[in-house]
Structure formats: C-alpha cells, structure tokens
Amino acid sequence: MRKTLTALPAIALFLAGCTATPATNAADAPLAEPVASPVATLARDAAMPQQAADAYYVDAQATIDAKIAARGVKPAKNVILFIGDGMSIPTVTATRIYAGQKRGLDGESYKLTMDQLPYSALSKTYNNDAQIADSASTATAMMSGVKTNSRTLGITGKAAYDNCGSLEGNRTDSIFDLAERAGLATGLVTTARLTHATPGAAYSETPDRDWEAFVGVPGADVSSCPDIASQFIDWPEGDGFEVAMGGGRSAFLTGGTQDPEYPGKTSDRKDQRDLIADWLAKPAHKYIIDRAGFEAEDFASEDKILALFEPSHMEYELDRAGDPSGEPSIAEMTRAAITRLSQDQDGYVLLVEGGRIDHAHHAGNAARALEEADQFDQAIQAALDMTNSDDTLIIVTADHSHTLTISGYAKRGNPILGLSSTSLDGTPDKALDGKPYTTLGYMNGPGACRPTDEGFDCTRQDLTDVDTTDKNFLQQSLFPMWSETHGGDDVAIFATGPGSELISGVMEQHEIFQVMGRASGLVAGPEAE
C-alpha cells in the first residue's frame, strides 16, 4: 500500500472560465463543442509526496522553485500531459512535413498544433542507470519526479530490477495519486496497452514493466508485488480513474478465456481472476470493447469508463483508416475523456499517450510512425479546442528519442517518405555505391537486411524501382538489429496554459512533475518541508 501523504496548508486557486480559442490548425474530423469551464474557487491541500527526500526530487524541486520565485506561477485547475512515445525531434520535423504534404500543403512551412504552443524547452532523457532510457523509467520521471532504473515503474532508483523485496521505502506518489487524494478526476488515454510502460507509471509500482498480466518470478510473493493490471483495478487512490481507454484487454480477462473479438486468442493472465468483473462490480462502472460501445456511451454522465479496444495494442491508424466500425482514433478518445473529466467541478489530471509512434520506429517503419504522430497532434488540437488556456495546463513531450535521421540535400517539397532528390526533374540522388537513398533512415534496425532463402542479405538494396512511400516499406538502416533502438538525444517539450511559463531552457525530465504539481497546487514547494 502507498503511504499517506502529509497534508499542508490549503492553496486557494481562483479560476474563472471563458470561451476556448481554437488553434489555427484544424484536425481532419470535426471537433466537439468546447467544454465550458465553470467559474470555481478551488482549495487544494498541497502535498509532500513520499519520494520527496530522493536526491533527484530535491534537485528538481529547487530548480522549479527558483523559476517560480523569478517568474511566478499561475494556478491550473486542470492538467493534461501528452506523451508522444518515442517522438524524437527528427520525428516532429518529419511529421510536420508529412502532415503538410498529406494535406496538399507546403510541408516544410506547415505548422503542427504542438509547434504553435507558446512555451518550449528541451528535456534530458537519461535515467538513473542508463544513458539511453526506456519508456518505464522516463514515464516515472515525468509522473513522480524522480529518475529511476530502466524497466521499472513507480519506484525510485534505490529499488532493484526484478526484486519485489526492494520496493519498501522506495515507492513513489504519482501526480495521479495526488490528484485522486485531493478529489480531482483522473483519466488515461493511450493507443498502447493500458498496462504498458507509459500509462502504467500513473498507477503502478513494480520492479519489472513486463509484469503486466502476471508476476514473472517463480515463487514471488504476489501480495507484495502484484501484476500491473491488478494494480489498475485495485488502485486505492480516491474513487479511482473516471475514464481509461486504450488496448490491453488480454491482461484483464480470466486466464484461458477467449477474447470476445478474436476467437482463438486467449488471456495472458495465469490466474483465474476476472478483472473485468471486478471493475463492473463497482457502482456506475462501465466497460467498452468496440466503437459501437464507444459511440453509445454518454461521456457527459457520471459513469466510470474502462475501454479496452484490443487484446494488445490498438491498431495503427494506417491499418484501420476508413473502417467506420473500427476503433476510435486518439483524437476521438481525447475528446471523450475531456468530456467525461469536465463533469468534475474540482478539476482533473489526464494523460494522453501516442504509444504506437514508438512501435513503428522499432519496426523501422517511418510511414506508420509519422501517421501516428500526426494523429497524436490532432489529439492535441482536440484538447485545445475543448479547454481553456486560462485554467488548463497542457504539456506535450516525448519520453525518449529514436534513431530516425533526416539527411541528404533533398529539394524543397520532395516527398518526405521518398528518395532524396536535388534535381528539378526528380532524378534520385546517388550514394557512392551508385544506389539511391531515402531522406529518412535509421541508425539501426531491421531495414539493414532482407530475408532470403539462405538467410539474410545485408547488402544495401537498390531502391530505384521501390515505392518507399508504401506504408509497409522499412527505411534502410546502418547496422542490422531485429528491433530499432531508442536514441539518447534530448526531446522537445511544448506547453501552454497556467504553469507553462516554467517550461524553458534545457530541463531535467523529472522537472515536468514539479511543473504540473506546483501549477495545480497538488505538490508543495521546499518551503513546506
């Protein structure tokens, strides 16, 4: 169980609602009407989380406190954290060009929604034990304010990977824990599994991010180290999540149970616990598995919604485009979540993750990665259209980078997924081996080799007659790996709303927690110690 936080003097936040001002980029689909923010006066008890003595926490607290002393901070009634999983700076640039060209516009000068947010910074993504981090440790940094070890969730760097016994004294309180204890509404939206690393950092504490449906250590004491899906259902904070939508149904079904949409696909659980039944046993709790259920739900009600649209991750947008019976897009889920959370007059904290940007990069597949990033950007637009910049802090960032590169000397307007060309007639540029090359490539990954009857051919393929814009094309990479890796370079942070004035310069990733916590009045400053 999590420790009880120490309550500190109430901070009164005086907030008034007004009409939302849409950003200039319109999403492809029509957006819902803005949700008006009610005039409200909020009294919140700022808390000192249990990880407040951690050295990383203390340093970040001092840094953000210095910014507050110099600039002040406006109170935020609501907080929305957008995480584009694996959305490196080259990914943002390539997505900008892709999105513009896709709409028949000049890609290079096109502006994504995130480009237009008024504050920006760079985020350093290393963690406690690695130069190049994974999604679990980086998500923990943003949601709990500490750097931790790779492949661990919701615990400090003093806890050991795969060691349940090391958790005591090394647990953390996430911004979602604090929000629920303060009476705010909370929500999760992801295109990955709901139990995956990024959303898992909101509610779980585990020494192994892979323990989504079961604890994978023989003889482990499950009572002290439960699986991540169980932790979601048993989350003890407040009255629990108001809304949670994504994939990952298989971790919630009784072991051996067939998936309702995929005959032959059975649950990943190793026990006989039915987590869906446990969810539905609670008052006013609803469960959705498809678009029909999504469209039938009244998100303006007080229902608590768990929507799991796939056994594992949700489908890539390019693989379900044009299917009216398919899954909702990330923008649609974001609209629904904001509608539901806005029913709470006390405010809310929401996480929106574009999880499949990362997965497409790991596959060396830029087309799917850029489409996922474009969809993620449309979800940001949906949030801007439905919220008020006077009372809602929106932060857009990535957890880590990837090895995607944009190179060569392609002329203005050259297709971003195409072959590099400097000539007016589109003749491809050639490398020293006499073969054309694409503008986009990866430092490593599966695109270095092609399977043959004898094994693999790792000589560079001649792309002259290859459609490199096809969604299934894998960009060429320098050295072969089954899965492309993360990158260690900084990622961008974009922000708007109260508290966004603290986003500047080159920031430690775990400072993002302090920005959200201090602006929302949920986290106490160092003067309270």
Which pLDDT value is given to residue 424?
Answer: 93
Please report which confidence band the pLDDT of residue 2 belongs to, taking 50, 70 and 90 as the band edges.
Answer: very low
Summarize the confidence of residues 400-406 as an average pLDDT.
98
pLDDT in tens, 512-527: 999 999 999 999 998 7
Q: Are 191 and 313 in contact (CB under 8 A)?
A: yes
- CA angle 89/156/520 to nearest 5° reads 65
Please state the rounded mean pLDDT for residues 25-35.
43
Percent of the chain with pLDDT over 70: 90
Least confident of 62-71, 188-197, 214-223, 497-506: 214-223
Residue environment code for 164-182, b if the CB has 16+ CB neighbours within 10 A, otherwise e: bebbeebbbbbbbbbbbbb
Mean pLDDT of 192-202: 98
More reliable by pLDDT, 12 or 142: 142
- Residues 438-479 have pLDDT tens digits of 999 999 999 999 989 888 999 999 999 999 999 999 999 999
- Residue 82 CA: distances (Å) to CA of 96, 227, 287, 399, 526: 17, 25, 24, 10, 27
CB 357 within 8 A of CB 94: no
| Per-residue CA distances from 338 to 243, 490, 493 (Å) | 9, 30, 21
Query: Any catalytic annotation for residue 423?
Result: no
Which DSSP helix (H) or strand (E) runs through 8? strand 6-15
- The residues pairing with 445 across neighbouring beta strands, listed in sequence order, are 480
Quote the pLDDT of residue 217.
Answer: 73
Q: How far apart are CA 517 and CA 175, in angstroms?
A: 7
417-426: list long-range contacts, CB under 8 Å, 24+ apart: 417/98, 417/366, 417/367, 417/370, 417/468, 417/469, 417/473, 418/468, 418/469, 419/463, 419/468
* Orientation of helix 511-520 relative to helix 135-144, angle to 10°: 30
Dist. CA 190–CA 139, nearest whole Å: 13
* Residue 383 near residue 80 (C-beta atoms within 8 A): yes
Q: Which one-letter amino acid corresponds to residue 519? A: A
Residue given tokens 């809304």 in the structure block: 243
Tens of pLDDT along 111-121?
999 999 999 99
Q: What tokens appear for 454 in the block? A: 């004898």
User: 221 falls in which pLDDT band (50, 70, 90)?
Assistant: low
Residue 310, token pair as written in the block: 């796939």
Q: How far apart are CA 16 and CA 208, in angstroms?
A: 43
Instruction: Kindly tell me if the per-residue pLDDT of 355 is higher than 90.
Output: yes
pLDDT of the residue at 326: 86
Give residue-wise pLDDT tens across range 235-274.
999 999 999 999 999 999 999 999 999 999 999 999 999 9
Q: And the tokens for 265?
A: 């696909």
Flag the least confident range among 110-119, 153-162, 315-324, 371-380.
315-324
What angle separates helix 511-520 from helix 55-71, to the nearest 10 degrees? 50
**Domain map of the chain by residue range?**
6-18+27-215+224-402+490-528, 404-484
pLDDT at 160 over 60: yes
As a CATH number, domain 6-18+27-215+224-402+490-528 is 3.40.720.10
Whether the predicted pLDDT of 382 surpasses 80:
yes
Contact assessment for residue 34 and residue 512, using Cβ atoms and an 8 Å cutoff: no
Query: Is 5 a residue whose pLDDT tops 60?
Result: no
CA dist., res. 56 & res. 235, Å (int) = 26
Instruction: Report how far residue 425's alpha carbon sits from residue 472's, in angstroms, rounded to the nearest whole number.
Output: 26
Confidence of residue 1 (pLDDT cuts 50, 70, 90): very low
Q: Is 0.75 topped by the overall pTM? A: yes
Amino acid identity for residue 229 in this structure:
A
Sheet holding 506-508, edge to edge: 285-288, 304-308, 243-247, 185-193, 348-354, 78-84, 392-397, 491-496, 119-124, 506-508
Query: What pLDDT does 529 receive?
Result: 64
Number of neighbouring beta carbons within 10 Å of residue 230: 24
- The answer on pLDDT for 223 being more than 80 is no
Q: Which of 37, 88, 135, 230 does the annotation list as catalytic?
A: 135
